[in-house]
Amino acid sequence: MNNKLYGNLIFELSKTGRKGYSLPKTDFQHSTSELPKALLRQNEAELPECDELTVVRHYTNLSHNNFGVNDGFYPLGSCTMKYNPIINEEIAAMKTFAGLHPLQPADTCQHALELYYALQESLAELTGLSEFTLNPCAGAHGELTGLMIIRAYHESRGDEKRTKVLIPDSAHGTNPASAAVCGLDVVEVKSLANGTVDVDDLKRLIGECGDEVAAMMMTNPNTLGIFEQAIPEITKLVHDCGGLMYYDGANLNPMLGECRPGDMGFDVMHINLHKTFSTPHGGGGPGSGPVGVREGLEQFLPTPRVVLREDDENGVAFHVETGDYEKTLGSVGNFFGNFAVMLKAYTYILTLGRENIKMVGPLATLNATYIKESLKDVYELPIDGLCKHEFVFDGLKDKSTGVTTMDVAKRLLDYGYHAPTIYFPLLFHESLMIEPTENESKETLDSFIAVMRCIAEEAKNDPELVKTAPHNTPIGRVDDVLAAKHPIVTWRQLKAEQ
């Protein structure tokens, strides 16, 4: 990675008359000047004009300002920054897949539909649920889809007043946000001092409004990386009051090989393929958020659906179906999801196979536990005990130095690590959430542990050094307030400022 900023914008490299493309000569007789003038744009789009090499250098240089999993250790809690296998990219880019049009006849794309179907089936097996839709494009999109399924289920039974969703106070912000978009009201469930759901508080809430509960949303392990041991009791309480259990698959990784959401009693869940199934985060997308349901809820899944069906003409074949699902919640995207991402996930499943996939959870958990145990004498571990794939420190143990979690995170950048997730979950003031994933070696973890200890030392001996970090990155800390107070979000605005 750069330690000096490459700071150009492509617009600043543009020069009128430069060209970065070539197109074939054509001799068709038509031109858009035939269109009524009222339908044509009057103001030209000021797009950059650059030669090809300038463009190549620009984006190559920009990439050097970035830090990816391939650059170094990325212990970003709740994000599961595992290795993104190279072969996945090659498979997804094959012309036979990348060149498919989503509406071409089904008998010309049986291969793609077969893989799509196989992934649906594999996810059902891995989670202990009945059927999956792969249509949602991201985790949050999956959550929304899952909640729509739940509402469609209640409405199909004429149970219109179930508009409340129980969500633990430790939950990620998307849970309540998805509930709100789905037209549901959020009821917060308290956590105990040990970070798990307060079952007594849950009982109280169910006593107050049990007949209005549409669902309870949970991750397990929860956002602290702690397994909710009371899950059988919790699912029973919610089911008994007529609600459904929603599993946020953000923390599915440590469960691989050990425990399936369906067996825990969950009815609906989403999976982040970009976490558990190794597809790249791409700087914030594209993700993929398949949603699974238990038996009996399949009819509410969104359309289109990819099914295996027998007909007179073709025998057994794969089909994309949109009609004939009377109880479907509707559609949540243009077509049937982020297909290229699914190919990567399925390639990953095949690469691991049944013998290796069951080791993912235990090794991810071992790696997290190893870091936790190696650092808990210098960082504050608010909740001791078993963790799963991640855990949370509440800042440095020694609070007298004034060095905050933010400072520790920024100092880590100087040492060539991505920062952990900070100030989440909101249960602690100085949350520092670490998730190493199963792909990291003992040597990588040992180096990270050594650096974390070194930063703790620096905090004692030279706190200013840590408070003013980072020092070795392309830029220093940024002024967030300036950006929000006077938003400049386009080149046009930027030019007007100059």
Cis-peptide into 304, omega within 30 deg:
yes
Tell which positions 325-344 bind other proteins, by CB under 8 A.
329-341
Tell which positions 84-123 bind other proteins, by CB under 8 A.
84-85, 87, 89, 91-105, 107-112, 114-115, 122
Selected binder of other proteins within 154, 162, 294, 410 (CB under 8 A) = 410
| Count of beta carbons in the 10 Å neighbourhood of residue 180 | 14
Q: How far is the CB of 233 from other proteins (least distance, A)?
A: 10
Q: Is residue 130 at the binding interface for other proteins, with CB under 8 A as the rule? A: no
DSSP code for 420 = P
Residue whose CB is less far from other proteins, 193 or 460: 193
Tell which positions 418-437 bind other proteins, by CB under 8 A.
418-419, 424
Tell which positions 49-68 bind other proteins, by CB under 8 A.
49-50, 52, 55-56, 58-60, 62-68
Burial class (CB in 10 A: 0-12, 13-18, 19+), 492: exposed
Q: How far is the CB of 462 from other proteins (least distance, A)?
A: 18
What pairs with residue 244 in β-bridges? 215
Residue whose CB is less far from other proteins, 95 or 400: 95
Q: Is residue 483 at the binding interface for other proteins, with CB under 8 A as the rule? A: yes
Residue whose CB is less far from other proteins, 374 or 401: 374
Question: Binding segment for other proteins among 168-176, 198-206, 210-218, 397-405 (CB under 8 A)?
Answer: 168-176
Measured CA to CA, the distance from residue 101 to residue 105 in angstroms comes to: 9
Selected binder of other proteins within 159, 285, 321, 402 (CB under 8 A) = 285
Residue whose CB is less far from other proteins, 298 or 435: 435
| Count of beta carbons in the 10 Å neighbourhood of residue 167 | 23
Structure tokens at 100: 């498919």
Residue 1 Cα distances to 65, 72, 109, 416, 448, angstroms: 6, 10, 41, 9, 18
Structure tokens at 309: 């069906």
Tell which positions 189-218 bind other proteins, by CB under 8 A.
none
Measured CA to CA, the distance from residue 371 to residue 445 in angstroms comes to: 7
Q: How far is the CB of 134 from other proteins (least distance, A)?
A: 10
Total residues contacting other proteins (rule CB under 8 A)?
A: 200
Interaxial angle between packed helices 231-240 and 199-209, expressed in degrees from 0 to 180 and rounded to the nearest 10: 0
Q: Is-contact 75 418, C-beta < 8 A?
A: yes
Q: Is residue 48 at the binding interface for other proteins, with CB under 8 A as the rule? A: yes
